[in-house]
Chains A and B, each alone.
Chain A
């Protein structure tokens, strides 16, 4: 098992996390993934990367600098994204009841390992 894969396992062990992946920030391509079977990893990487790019542009236009963490809360769950080293994104999808604080702490730790 690769180091990236091991790092992702730490995230998927959190109750309520349905999948975690490392994706390229520019291309939106999967680098490593640990997601449930019903989750389309390719689509998740592409859309999360696109969303992250757009928010980065919006934040830059507003003079806010580069976003450090993205938390999108939907009715059925949450999408969490953070930068993970040069050109990479760490993406997590979770159920509505996930402990976001814990997920966020673990994501910061994993992002540091990857970097």
Chain B
């Protein structure tokens, strides 16, 4: 498991231990990766983050159009694995969790322990701070630093 935010590590480790999830991605609502577990390629994690954020944005917009309260959870249940995608709020802003799980666990368990993860992240999150402005010249450096942290290389 790798994280660019140290306060995410302990809650996420607890979740991984309890839920038996195969892959986990914690990201901002814009698709910026905060932490990941199980992904081995940078390309996969960036694609999954972008798609996850896109799915949640579409679900939010759908809820707005039909004047329903915002959807918070989307589940794709396949024959060999399931995808659980949920939006939640923390003192550091809105975040999205993507969990890929197989037959060694169940949607109920993933949901149960994900709710606990959200509570733990809310407690662990430091108060919101203004992110430093990333200048175009620094963008690539920032991106590479985040990828190094997430993939250890």
Interface residues of A (CB under 8 A from B): 23-24, 26-29, 42-43, 45-47, 49-50, 53
Count how many chain B residues have C-beta atoms less than 8 Å from C-beta atoms of the other chain: 8
How far is it, in angstroms, between the C-alpha of A53 and the C-alpha of B107 when the chains are bound?
A: 13
How far is it, in angstroms, between the C-alpha of A47 and the C-alpha of B112 when the chains are bound?
A: 9
Indicate if the CB atoms of A50 and B107 lie closer than 8 Å: no
- CB contact under 8 A between A46 and B112, given known A26-B106, A29-B107: yes
Interface class of chain A by DSSP: helix
- Shortest CB-to-CB span from A25 to chain B, Å, is 9
Report the nearest A residue to B106, measured CB to CB. Answer: A28
How far is it, in angstroms, between the C-alpha of A43 and the C-alpha of B113 when the chains are bound?
A: 9
Any A CB within 8 A of the CB of B152: no
Most buried by B among A24, A46, A53: A46
How far is it, in angstroms, between the C-alpha of A42 and the C-alpha of B107 when the chains are bound?
A: 11
Partner of B107, one of A28, A43, A47: A28
**Contacting residues, chain B, for A23 (C-beta < 8 A):** 108
**Contacting residues, chain B, for A28 (C-beta < 8 A):** 106-109, 112
How far is it, in angstroms, between the C-alpha of A23 and the C-alpha of B107 when the chains are bound?
A: 12
- Shortest CB-to-CB span from B33 to chain A, Å, is 28
Indicate if the CB atoms of A27 and B112 lie closer than 8 Å: no
- Shortest CB-to-CB span from A43 to chain B, Å, is 5
Known: A29-B111, A42-B108, A47-B112. 16 other contacts (CB 8 A): A24-B108, A26-B106, A27-B107, A27-B108, A28-B112, A29-B107, A46-B108, A46-B109, A46-B111, A47-B108, A47-B109, A49-B106, A49-B108, A50-B105, A50-B106, A50-B109
Within 8 A of A (CB), among B57-98: 77
**Contacting residues, chain B, for A26 (C-beta < 8 A):** 106
How far is it, in angstroms, between the C-alpha of A96 and the C-alpha of B124 when the chains are bound?
A: 38
How far is it, in angstroms, between the C-alpha of A28 and the C-alpha of B82 when the chains are bound?
A: 13
- CB contact under 8 A between A27 and B105, given known A42-B111, A43-B112, A46-B112: no
Within 8 A of A (CB), among B22-65: none
**Contacting residues, chain A, for B77 (C-beta < 8 A):** 27
How far is it, in angstroms, between the C-alpha of A53 and the C-alpha of B77 when the chains are bound?
A: 18
- Shortest CB-to-CB span from B111 to chain A, Å, is 7
How far is it, in angstroms, between the C-alpha of A15 and the C-alpha of B112 when the chains are bound?
A: 29
